[in-house]
Amino acid sequence: MARIHDLLDKGHTFSFEFFPPKTEEAQATLVATLRELESLNPSFVSVTYGAGGSTRERTHDLVVGLLRTTHMTPMAHLTCAGHSRLDLAEILVRYARAGIDNVLSLGGDPPQGLELGPSELNHASDLVELARAIGPFSLGVAAHPEGHPSSRSLVADRAHLATKLALADFAVTQFFFSADHYQSLVNDMADLGVTKPVIPGIMPITNVASVARMAHMSGASIPAELLARLEAADESGGAAEVRKVGVEAATELSQQLLDAGAPGLHFYTMNRSGATLDIYANLGLAQR
């Protein structure tokens, strides 16, 4: 199985993120999405993990299923929140035995109103160190271009990111909508002596209300110019026109990032294929 840091050493990576489905209908949608996006030959795909292990088995089954039934390289998300060290070690050993070599190590942010059990490891860097002791994983961590919403300051967030990225092999960012935010993060890491690859995360806006809500939760901001374009599209053509503008904006951002030297692109698909397929076509990546 390919290790993501090796893929990054060879050139650009283009990857997709999925989440475990909760219903039979959602499962059918994901299966169709996987079939369509596999044809794009992604470098790797990632699968999210619920806070406190709420999707523990579904995440495991989807990751292992991708390895065994597709040609795609999967990466499992894993969070510290609500787990003991032994819990996490057992999950990592299980992945290693199944042949899963790639893990995204996360601290984990519990949703509002959800009470989790005690966490024996408090930071993603602790999980990276545990994973290093268990097997030769390729290990990623998360990055927030505009800072984690719970961080006391951007300076503190950058210092924390530098610590965990120095231990890991690469980072994948939360979604954002301005290339300047990404470039600022990369420059700040370089100033702190960390030059590991940071893969930018791309979220095409197909619904203004839902993305605005997600952006607020993740600490991302929607530029006023982009918001104006989306609102004008909504007034003139409704949902279809919003989707068109959202895909255009994501294409523009993706090209800016690649031109600026980003090591690849990571698409937040929301288990749907349409927007990602369109962006790939716009960028001329469909035949790569």
Question: H/E/C letters for each residue in 6-32?
Answer: HHHHHCCEEEEEECCCCCHHHHHHHHH
Residue 243 has pLDDT above 60, yes or no: yes
Per-residue confidence band for 111, with pLDDT thresholds at 50, 70 and 90: low
Total of domains in the chain:
1
The answer to whether residue 30 is domain-embedded is yes
Percent of the chain with pLDDT over 70: 96
**Residue by residue, what is the 3-state secondary structure of 122-164?**
CCHHHHHHHHHHHCCCEEEEEECCCCCCCCCCHHHHHHHHHHH
> Against a cut of 0.85, is the pTM above it?
yes
Question: Known catalytic residue: 17?
Answer: yes
For every residue of 226-237, DSSP letters joined together read HHHHHHHHHHHH
Instruction: Please give the pLDDT value at position 53.
Output: 79
DSSP code, position 42: -
3-state helix, strand, coil in the chain (%, to 5): 50, 15, 35
Q: Do 244 and 209 form a contact (C-beta atoms < 8 A)? A: no
Instruction: Please give the pLDDT value at position 210.
Output: 86
Instruction: Please give the pLDDT value at position 288.
Output: 63
Residue 41 has pLDDT above 90, yes or no: yes
The answer to whether residue 288 is domain-embedded is no
> Which distant-in-sequence residues (6+ apart) come within 8 Å of 91 by Cβ?
56, 60, 78, 83
Name all contacts of 157-162 with Cβ < 8 Å and 24+ positions apart: 158/185, 158/188, 158/189, 158/192, 159/192, 160/123, 161/185, 161/189, 162/189, 162/192, 162/193, 162/194
Which residue in the block uniquely carries the two structure tokens 């930018």? 200
Residue 239 has pLDDT above 90, yes or no: yes
The answer to whether residue 100 is domain-embedded is yes
The answer to whether residue 148 is domain-embedded is yes
DSSP code, position 36: H
The answer to whether residue 269 is domain-embedded is yes
Per-residue confidence band for 256, with pLDDT thresholds at 50, 70 and 90: very high
> Which distant-in-sequence residues (6+ apart) come within 8 Å of 12 by Cβ?
43, 258, 263, 264, 265
| Cα dihedral 161→162→166→170 (10° resolution) | 50
The answer to whether residue 173 is domain-embedded is yes
Question: Where is average pLDDT lowest: 48-62, 82-96, 191-205, 258-272?
Answer: 48-62
CATH number assigned to the domain comprising residue 252 = 3.20.20.220
Domain coverage including residue 116:
4-283
What radius of gyration do the chain's Cα atoms show? 18
Structure tokens at 153: 């300051």
Q: Do 45 and 73 form a contact (C-beta atoms < 8 A)? A: yes
Catalytic residue among 17, 25, 248, 252: 17
CA distance 264 to 46: 14
Phi, psi of 131, deg, nearest 5: -65, -35
